[in-house]
Amino acid sequence: MQIWPGRPYPLGATYDGTGTNFALFSGVAERVELCLFDADGTETRLDLPEVDAFVWHGYVPGLAPGQRYGYRVHGPYDPAQGHRCDPSKLLLDPYAKAIDGQIDGDASLFSYRFDAPDERNEDDSRGHTMTSVVVNPFFDWGHDRPPQHEYHESVIYEAHVKGLTQLHPAVPEELRGTYAGLAHPAVIEHLTSLGVTAIELMPVHQFVNDPTLQERGLSNYWGYNTIGFFAPHNAYASLASSGQQVQEFKSMVKALHEANIEVILDVVYNHTAEGNHLGPTLSFRGIDNASYYRLVDEDPAHYFDTTGTGNSLLMRSPHVLQLIMDSLRYWVTEMHVDGFRFDLAATLARQFHEVDRLSAFFDIVQQDPVISQVKLIAEPWDLGDGGYQVGGFPPLWSEWNGDYRDTVRDFWRGEPSTLGQFASRLTGSSDLYAHTGRRPIASINFVTAHDGFTLADLVSYNEKHNEANGEENRDGESHNRSWNCGAEGPTDDQAIRTLRGRQQRNFLATLLLSQGVPMIAHGDEIGRSQGGNNNGYCQDNEITWVDWDLDEDGMSLLEFTRRLVHLRRDHPVFRQRRFFAGSADHGGESDLHDIAWLTPTGGPMEDSAWDSEHAFAVQVFLNGDAIDEPDMRGQDIVDDSFLLLFNGHWEKSQFQLPGADYGAVWTAVLDTDATVPAGKQIKARGKVQLAPRSMVLLTRPPVTERPTASGGGVAAGASSEAARIVRATS
């Protein structure tokens, strides 16, 4: 087999129609062998003939897609100096576009002996590790184009490829748990009818299934254990052919785009699956350990870990930064994804030891013409010192707002002195973001996510129940801000079940009527439960899979969630691009404030009312005539006005609506307790009785005329929510 000099760029294996170019960075290698595998496992080794700027490269004519390959890197093995090259270990290409197989936990994967850790293990890992695959880069995208939903119009749906589809009865059995299953019309119909604009997929980069979990009969379900930053996870492919996961992933993206749904990937660029100094040698460790990983300065045999996984990538290394940026660009340009959510993103900001929002990573993202134009979402914390950075990321970024989650949970479970914080979270968290020039879209609002209780479990359990994880219930968060409503777990007590249903509706209504960008965790819209397990990372089974066999409560909750999403979509007053001014000087067409905070008696909220530890109720006036922003055609936005009545108290509360200045007649839109019927009309200064822990939404038509597409007007309120409800109920 011939090998020609080839080119040092692009890195990875690149098929050009007549052969494949291979390029691998290593600053310490003395020799690099390209290992090619036949269908029967026969290995052919070829020395890469050239090296330029530490990139080893060669071109193999006639080598086609589907070819499995790996590397053996010859160089220093001196852990005390941070070097761990080991040619006995078959290594994955860091730029592999597809990966075949999984590791099996064999001792040959480790460069030391279990019975004598100071002794080197030179057993060959071939047959016990994964191999890289040359892929066909060509795909018929047809007329595919990104939906490019504006942030403020987005509703994000966090989902797991397998968990969402594994039990779906309409998905053919052979497609369940796969990219093709996610692209099935039945799944897409659920997403479109719900009204979500983007699906945020939990990790789909190739990850490692931990042998330690497999020994306990468990597996790495979540996937936060990446080993291939360019490769779609092979276990999610329905196609058996090696490398076909790339084609199937692209087909999934194409189908979701056709349904006007964006695809956001949850990505893990803070660490790899190789773990700490006792982990296996799979790729980066054996190629150039000190260039890829943060090592302890005084003891480079060990790893500096801010992720809790054993290692952290070295964010001041130009080669690590190049790897991450090349990966991000590949997923946007070649795989057509629309954005990224960065796991433990504070680690990416640790250029040295402290978290620095002006680190090199953020600089290169800011100037990149491709990555800077897609959705960038940070999980703004890690486990290191100063790692909690909610509100601390640069203006280009949005963040998972952990303060929103905690405050909303506290308010609805009746914690004292939460009303002021609740008001801040409801209106976009300007206290966290406005000081750096950011807007409400900086806040990704969520009440639940993959990590922690589901929504149904949040209102059903006071304590975590993670016994199935095999860690004696020590794993997972212990302070969940949850409340079981009077009984731990399932109950036949109808009063408790009714309260739990109302609490779920309270959380969903708060989430979807808040300023910012809402995120729903998959299955929360149908009451999905994990039986109190708040750390399902290792449960690839019915505990974490979405159960689509809906009872009456599940169907009712689904319909309620749909109504809320559509209400948000139809009314820009709930999804404004700018923070409220809190005054009448807002540039709109109304003399009233753009927002007003009122007591349950209809008067203005005083400072003492906010500060009271016994304050659990408030009215919020959102003025649809005072939206201080134009639409995409430059015309003023006019909307219905709304009153949101919140009763977080454990007792009934009577509300008196404000005077006629705010509206002569109000129409009920929804009540999380369902005692105030939709369509009911209430006059100014009229009274409304709210059930314990409930909220009511009222509306009135706009005072000014709505603009039409041609710039003219229509009769005030002709398309208002109030008119729609009256028609629907008459």
Give me the CATH number covering residue 675.
Answer: 2.60.40.1180
Note the pLDDT of residue 356.
Answer: 66
Residue pair 444/517 in contact by the 8 Å Cβ criterion: yes
Q: Is residue 454 part of a domain?
A: no
CA-CA distance, 237 to 217, in Å (whole number)? 22
Note the pLDDT of residue 353.
Answer: 64
Note the pLDDT of residue 414.
Answer: 95
The residues facing 341 across adjacent strands are 266, 377
Q: Is residue 695 part of a domain?
A: yes
Note the pLDDT of residue 718.
Answer: 32
Phi and psi torsions of 112, nearest 5°: -135, 165
- The token pair at 632 is 């995409």
Q: Is residue 429 part of a domain?
A: no
- The token pair at 124 is 């060959």
Note the pLDDT of residue 375.
Answer: 98
Q: Is residue 427 part of a domain?
A: no
Note the pLDDT of residue 716.
Answer: 32
Active site residue 379: yes
726, containing H or E segment: helix 721-729
The residues facing 112 across adjacent strands are 120
Residue pair 602/658 in contact by the 8 Å Cβ criterion: yes
Name the residue among 191, 189, 202 with its Cα closest to residue 161: 202
CA-CA distance, 26 to 21, in Å (whole number)? 17
Residue pair 530/450 in contact by the 8 Å Cβ criterion: no
Note the pLDDT of residue 425.
Answer: 97
CA-CA distance, 609 to 675, in Å (whole number)? 27
Give 10-residue mean pLDDT values along the chain (730 residues). 97 97 98 97 98 98 97 98 98 98 96 93 97 96 97 98 98 98 98 98 96 91 98 93 91 98 97 96 98 96 93 94 97 98 86 67 93 96 81 91 97 95 96 94 98 98 97 96 98 98 98 98 98 98 98 98 98 96 59 92 89 89 91 87 97 96 97 96 98 98 67 34 36
Cα 81 to the chain's mean position, in Å? 38
Q: How many domains does the chain have?
A: 1
What's the 3-state SS for 270-334?
Answer: CCCCCCCCCCCCCCHHHHHHHHHECEECCEEEEECCCCCCCCCECCCCHHHHHHHHHHHHHHHHC
Residue pair 146/254 in contact by the 8 Å Cβ criterion: no
- The token pair at 663 is 């509206």
Residue pair 642/619 in contact by the 8 Å Cβ criterion: no
Q: Is residue 681 part of a domain?
A: yes
- The token pair at 556 is 């009712």
Name the residue among 430, 361, 436 with its Cα closest to residue 401: 430
Q: Is residue 27 part of a domain?
A: no
- Residue 51 neighbours by CB distance under 10 Å: 18
Cα 395 to the chain's mean position, in Å? 19
403, containing H or E segment: helix 402-412
Note the pLDDT of residue 586.
Answer: 46
Note the pLDDT of residue 590.
Answer: 62
Q: Is residue 42 part of a domain?
A: no
The length of the chain, given as a count of residues: 730
Tell me which of 338, 379, 382, 625 is the catalytic residue.
379
Residue 152 is which amino acid? H
- Could you please report the per-residue DSSP string of 502-559? HHHHHHHHHHHTSSSEEEEETTGGGT---TT-S-GGG--STTTS------HHHHHHHH
Long-range contacts of 600-608 (CB under 8 A, 24+ apart): 600/647, 600/653, 600/654, 600/655, 600/656, 601/655, 601/656, 602/655, 602/656, 602/657, 602/658, 602/659, 602/685, 603/658
Percent helix, strand, coil in the chain, to 5, is 25, 20, 50
Residue pair 182/164 in contact by the 8 Å Cβ criterion: yes
CA-CA distance, 14 to 134, in Å (whole number)? 7
CA-CA distance, 231 to 135, in Å (whole number)? 10
Helix 318-333 and helix 360-367, axial crossing angle in degrees, nearest 10: 30
Torsion angle of C-alpha atoms 506, 509, 510, 515, degrees rounded to 10: 180
CA-CA distance, 181 to 177, in Å (whole number)? 6
CA-to-CA dists, residue 569 to 564, 637, 669, angstroms: 9, 14, 15
Note the pLDDT of residue 713.
Answer: 32
Phi and psi torsions of 713, nearest 5°: -125, 165
- The token pair at 604 is 């203005």
For strands 443-445 and 398-400, give the pairing.
parallel
The residues facing 671 across adjacent strands are 696
Which single residue is written with the structure tokens 């406005």?
434
Which range of residues forms the domain containing residue 596? 586-700
Note the pLDDT of residue 164.
Answer: 98
First and final CA of the chain: distance in angstroms? Answer: 80
Active site residue 613: no
Name the residue among 264, 17, 319 with its Cα closest to residue 151: 264
Query: Is 328 exposed, middle or buried, given 0-12, 13-18 or 19+ CB atoms closer than 10 A?
Result: buried
Q: Is residue 618 part of a domain?
A: yes
CA-CA distance, 506 to 590, in Å (whole number)? 30
Tell me which of 158, 210, 343, 410 is the catalytic residue.
343
